[in-house]
């Protein structure tokens, strides 16, 4: 069938960031802010949700993951959001799968060591492929996926080759952080403001690597969970996902 080229601008299909990455310092409240998002299933890969009331499933093995994925495929209820918490833990979690994938190739058939110690650095590509295979399967059973990560300090190098500062960045090994960020619709840094509200910062050129394609998020610092005097939070996730406004 011949492709019909448009003659007028086509409307945006959605303003929701269907592939969202958030990251922040340990214990800052990443899981707490996610627990305030309605119909969000948190897949907990590092036992970080024990003290938070949420829709959550703890995953400690590839067998656990396979059973959860099977249940999601067969469930009559399709979660609007599914969160991977955290992709930093997932990176370690997929090592046996990555090793199997490598051993299924002629070059890796007899390899028995750590996948990241495989010759010529090939193990990193298999680890990324293993992570992507799991994330892609989760994407297939939800409209919106949220990937949570930890933070690392990345050096800022001047034109003369000197370190002149640092910026907070998404913590993954090798090229994984850059590849996952490039595939996302938005990447935001989770922090608390002076009133202890939980915020997601999408500002480029700030203290953290961040950015967003949707116009309503680009270069914004958004209060997502507003802290009340009793310590509870009022959710404002509709500021991230406009479709929640109804």
pLDDT for the residue 161: 59
What is the distance between the alpha carbons of residues 183 and 201, in angstroms, rounded to a whole number?
Answer: 18
pLDDT for the residue 228: 92
In 3D, which of 235, 240, 146 has the Cα closest to residue 200? 240
Classified as helix, coil or strand, 54 is coil
What is the distance between the alpha carbons of residues 85 and 147, in angstroms, rounded to a whole number?
Answer: 7
Q: How many residues does the structure list for the chain?
A: 246
Q: Are 34 and 81 in contact (CB under 8 A)?
A: no
Report the 3 state secondary structure along 14-31: CCCCCEEEEEECCCCCHH
Report how far apart, in Å, the C-alpha atoms of 48 and of each of 23, 51, 97, 160 are: 14, 8, 23, 42
Residue 101: φ, ψ to 5°: -60, -40
Report how far apart, in Å, the C-alpha atoms of 177 and of each of 22, 171, 187, 197, 239 are: 12, 7, 11, 27, 25
**pTM confidence score:** 0.89
pLDDT for the residue 18: 94
pLDDT for the residue 169: 83
Q: Are 202 and 222 in contact (CB under 8 A)?
A: yes
What is the distance between the alpha carbons of residues 126 and 131, in angstroms, rounded to a whole number?
Answer: 9
In 3D, which of 197, 200, 198, 195 has the Cα closest to residue 184? 200
Q: Are 148 and 86 in contact (CB under 8 A)?
A: yes
Residue 90: φ, ψ to 5°: -60, -35
pLDDT by residue, tens only, the chain of 246 residues: 688 888 888 777 778 999 999 998 888 889 889 999 999 999 999 887 888 889 999 999 889 999 999 999 999 999 999 999 988 888 889 999 999 999 999 999 999 999 999 999 899 999 999 999 999 999 999 999 999 988 888 766 656 656 555 678 888 887 888 888 888 999 999 999 999 999 999 998 777 788 999 999 999 999 999 999 998 899 999 999 999 986
Q: Are 81 and 40 in contact (CB under 8 A)?
A: yes
Sign of CA dihedral 176, 181, 187, 188: positive
């Amino acid at each position: 069938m011949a492709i019909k080229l448009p003659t007028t601008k086509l409307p945006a299909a959605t303003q929701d960031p269907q592939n969202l990455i958030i990251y922040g310092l340990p214990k800052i409240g990443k899981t707490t802010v996610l627990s305030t998002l309605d119909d969000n299933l948190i897949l907990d890969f590092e036992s970080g949700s024990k003290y938070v009331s949420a829709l959550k499933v703890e995953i400690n093995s590839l067998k656990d993951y396979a059973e959860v994925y099977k249940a999601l495929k067969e469930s009559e209820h399709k979660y609007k959001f599914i969160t991977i918490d955290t992709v930093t833990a997932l990176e370690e979690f997929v090592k046996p799968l990555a090793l199997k994938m490598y051993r299924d190739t002629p070059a890796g058939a007899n390899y028995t060591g750590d996948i990241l110690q495989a010759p010529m650095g090939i193990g990193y590509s298999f680890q990324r492929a293993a992570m992507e295979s799991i994330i892609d399967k989760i994407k297939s059973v939800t409209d919106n996926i949220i990937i949570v990560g930890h933070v690392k300090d990345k050096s800022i190098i001047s034109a003369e080759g000197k370190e002149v500062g640092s910026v907070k960045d998404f913590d993954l090994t090798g090229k994984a952080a850059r590849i996952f960020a490039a595939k996302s619709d938005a990447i935001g840094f989770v922090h608390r403001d002076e009133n202890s509200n939980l915020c997601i910062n999408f500002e480029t050129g700030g203290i953290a690597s961040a950015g967003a394609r949707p116009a309503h998020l680009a270069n914004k610092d958004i209060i997502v969970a507003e802290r009340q005097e009793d310590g509870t939070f009022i959710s404002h996730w509709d500021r991230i996902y406009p479709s929640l406004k109804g």
